[in-house]
């Protein structure tokens, strides 16, 4: 190998390394300054479970409990039929508070 080939390999390696470093710097800058919620706002979220009676359209909305998943049988009962309610949906609600 002559000196020109060694220089080209070295230059290419350094250039690719510099590009990778610039990509990481850009990513972390954007993550901290662009994708962060605006200052002065506090964003909170809570998990919610929706329960439904299998015999009627009665629905109950309550806070998420450990083990809740769609299709699971809950311990709560329908006030009309007395049957156990089934988990129909689990989702997260967010609430923004301004200071």
Q: DSSP characters for 49-94? A: EEEE-SSSS-EEEEE--TT--TTPEEEEE-TTT-PEEEEEEEEEEE
In this predicted model, what pLDDT tens digit does every residue of 55-91 receive, in sequence order?
998 999 999 999 899 999 999 999 998 999 999 999 9
- In the chain, domain spans: 1-36, 41-98
pLDDT at 95 exceeding the cut of 80 = no
């Amino acid at each position: 190998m002559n000196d020109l080939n060694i220089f080209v390999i070295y230059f290419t390696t350094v250039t690719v390394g510099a590009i990778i470093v610039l990509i990481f710097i850009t990513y972390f800058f954007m993550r901290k300054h662009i994708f962060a919620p605006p200052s002065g706002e506090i964003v909170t979220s809570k998990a919610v479970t929706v329960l439904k009676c299998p015999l009627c359209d009665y629905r109950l909305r309550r806070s998420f409990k450990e083990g809740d998943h769609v299709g699971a049988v809950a311990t709560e009962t329908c006030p009309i039929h007395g049957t156990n309610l089934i988990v129909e949906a689990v989702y997260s609600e967010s609430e923004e508070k301004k200071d």
